[in-house]
């Protein structure tokens, strides 16, 4: 056999193994000799999650404490599983929100502590890029790297701390440092 044919067969076997690995029953004892549970808390509706937090038909999503359980149901064989379905881009999700870190559709932004890659994935609109985790906006004095990480909307980049915005006449270097959002850079003063 030529090498490209063998490589193609190997890739096909791997793909079939991955599909069968997260499926409760593939119908073939060779591919899936026993029922499995999906290891992810965002599992398709036809599979229970390994943590026991979800059951078949409940949308496959383990409830978040204090959550109203807004999961959507997906029928058997429904590849657009909605909430919890696999995705790579926002347009692949009915809600328009794909959590890139988890590669799963979300029905609403994730709570603090959830894995993330971008601010729009988080309820508080802040994804800590170093920890890849949703976090609340910081109060004055909290550590920050970007203005969007601060309740007051201003991060001092040198000190890496959230600071209050400045009144007219106070020193500034950029518009976001001023209450008016206007810094006269010729005078280095808030307008």
What do you get for the CA distance between the two ends of the chain, in Å?
76
The pLDDT assigned to 83 comes to: 74
What pLDDT digit, counting tens, does each position of 152-170 carry?
999 999 999 999 999 999 9
Q: Which of 12-26, 35-49, 144-158 has the highest mean pLDDT?
A: 144-158
The pLDDT assigned to 109 comes to: 87
Of 6-20, 64-78, 157-171, give the lowest mean pLDDT range. 64-78
The pLDDT assigned to 159 comes to: 94
pLDDT class of 6 with cuts at 50, 70, 90: very low
For residue 140, pLDDT beyond 90: yes
Select from 55, 115, 58, 51 the least CA-distant residue to 81.
58
Beta-sheet pairing, 183-184 with 127-128: unpaired
For residue 61, pLDDT beyond 90: no
**Burial classification of residue 22, based on how many CB atoms lie within 10 Å of its CB (0-12 exposed, 13-18 middle, 19 or more buried):** middle
What pLDDT digit, counting tens, does each position of 174-183 carry?
999 999 999 9
For residue 149, pLDDT beyond 60: yes
pLDDT class of 82 with cuts at 50, 70, 90: low
Give CA torsion, residues 175, 176, 179, 180, to 10 deg. 40
Residues with Cβ within 8 Å of 1's Cβ and at least 6 positions away in sequence, in order, are none
The pLDDT assigned to 129 comes to: 87
Of 31-40, 57-66, 98-107, 163-172, give the lowest mean pLDDT range. 57-66
> Please, are residues 183 and 166 in contact by the beta-carbon 8 Å criterion?
no
């Amino acid at each position: 056999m030529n090498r490209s044919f063998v490589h193609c067969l190997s890739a096909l076997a791997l793909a079939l193994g991955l599909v069968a690995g997260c499926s409760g029953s593939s119908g073939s004892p060779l591919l899936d000799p026993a029922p499995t549970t999906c290891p992810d808390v965002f599992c398709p509706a036809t599979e229970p999650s390994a943590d026991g937090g979800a059951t078949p038909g409940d949308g496959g999503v383990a409830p978040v404490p204090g959550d109203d359980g807004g999961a959507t149901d997906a029928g058997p064989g429904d590849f657009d599983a909605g909430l919890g379905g696999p995705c790579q881009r926002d347009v692949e999700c009915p809600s328009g929100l794909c959590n890139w870190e988890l590669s799963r559709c979300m029905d609403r932004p994730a709570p603090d502590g959830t894995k993330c890659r971008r601010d729009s994935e988080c309820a508080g609109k802040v994804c800590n890029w170093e920890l890849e985790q949703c976090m609340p906006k910081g109060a004055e004095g909290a550590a920050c790297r970007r203005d969007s990480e601060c309740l007051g909307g201003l991060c001092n980049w040198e000190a890496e701390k959230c600071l209050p915005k400045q009144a007219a006449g106070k020193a500034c270097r950029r518009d976001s440092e001023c209450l008016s959002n206007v810094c006269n850079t010729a005078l280095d003063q808030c307008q």
